[in-house]
Amino acid sequence: MGKKPIIGITMGDAAGVGPEIIVKSLQSKRIYEESTPIVVGDAKMLKRASDVLNLDVTIKLIDKNSMFETQYGEIACVDLDLLPEDLPYGQVSKEAGHAAFEYLRTAIELANSGRIDAICTAPLNKEALHKGGHVYPGHTEILAELTNTKDFSMMLASPKLKVIHVTTHVGLLDAIKMINPDRVYNVIRLAHETLSKSGVTNPKIGVCGINPHAGENGLFGYGEEEEKIIPAVQKAMNEGIHVEGPLPADTLFFRAQRGDFDMVVAMYHDQGHGPIKVLGLEAGVNITVGLPIIRTSVDHGTAFDIAGKGIVDERSMLEALNQAIALAPKN
């Protein structure tokens, strides 16, 4: 049996629910049995979260250059000590935005150097991130830049459905302009490689159209399916990938969750996110595909409206940790 993977958990925006879902998730003994969880964040925010949750938690401060060890009943933290103890809950702040970036940057540094085996991220707030001086659409783009990755995609996973995206954090008009045969083909290939590595034999991939009814042979749209998607699907098929499309999105997602497809290729953000979130926020996990390191995340936001109230649902974070453990190298 291989060694337990070391999972670096970034705190995200500490004005949101990140610290609470981390503390609550690390009450699971099984997480410690199967991995070594290490939080990258602010120890004082973890202590504040444990007080809010009325949990008796030991916060163990560790140096990022030390041997990473922890045991059930304590939460090990690489403490960057960037935030004031009285950081307001539920408010956008440049301090929290900058800190969220630094937590992630540090975790990427640790992963690149082989100190941790996977990264699991709590949510950040994009407005706060920008106010803190880091103008990125989100986690995915930061990870790609800091790992020098050009070919990547966002994948959402739930027990019944897996979705990978051609475009994500751009407006709809910009997304349609950005979709092209090369990008669609690359995402189909990433989907195939990801499923194959996870043990799926001859994975079945369904590709969404852009327009209603996937254009219905030119009835809707201006030939986007024929120009942007069909050449990519044909190229993938010629390479032996089991792929179908473009297919009408409204029926494709139903067929996929029924089991007809192992993954759906969505063309834009809401096309892919909507069906996953209808199936339940608590079950969704965000996985960045194509990076040299494993990264999983909760599939929900900072939830400023309930931050600091001790009522968070930690199930998405637990599932994200489970996925990180499953995907991380064990040897």
Residues 6+ apart with CB under 8 A from 30: none
Task: Tell me the pLDDT tens digit for each residue of 62-89.
Answer: 998 888 989 999 999 999 999 999 999 9
> What gap in Å lies between CA 277 and CA 193, rounded to an integer?
25
Q: Is 152 helix (H, G, I), strand (E, B) or coil?
A: coil
Per-residue pLDDT at 280: 67
Angle at 293 between CA 156 and CA 13, to 5 degrees: 65
Per-residue pLDDT at 1: 41
- Which residue carries 């494993």 as its tokens? 294
Average pLDDT, stretch 42-51? 97
**Better-scored residue on pLDDT, 281 or 246:** 246
**164, 191 Cβ separation under 8 angstroms:** yes
Q: Is the backbone peptide bond immediately before 246 cis, with ω within 30 degrees of 0?
A: yes
DSSP 88: P
**60, 75 Cβ separation under 8 angstroms:** yes
**pLDDT over 80 (residue 46):** yes
Residue 331: band (very low, low, confident or very high) from pLDDT cuts 50, 70, 90 = low
Task: Tell me the pLDDT tens digit for each residue of 82-100.
Answer: 999 999 999 999 999 999 9
Closest CA to 240 of 278, 201, 214: 201
> In this structure, are strands 58-62 and 6-10 parallel, antiparallel, or unpaired?
unpaired
> What gap in Å lies between CA 138 and CA 133, rounded to an integer?
13
Provide, rounded to the nearest whole percent, the portion of the chain with pLDDT above 90: 72
Mean pLDDT of the chain: 92
Closest CA to 137 of 174, 189, 183, 107: 174
Per-residue pLDDT at 22: 98
Per the rule left: phi > 0, alpha: psi between -120 and 50, beta: everything else, 237 is alpha
| E strand or H helix that includes residue 6 | strand 6-10
Average pLDDT, stretch 194-212? 90
Residue 281: band (very low, low, confident or very high) from pLDDT cuts 50, 70, 90 = low
* pTM of the predicted model over 0.75: yes
Q: Which domains does the chain have, with CATH numbers?
A: 1-149+291-331 (3.40.718.10), 159-279 (3.40.718.10)
Per-residue pLDDT at 137: 84
Closest CA to 291 of 142, 102, 143: 143
Closest CA to 99 of 13, 8, 7, 9: 13
Task: Tell me the pLDDT tens digit for each residue of 164-190.
Answer: 999 988 999 999 999 999 999 999 999
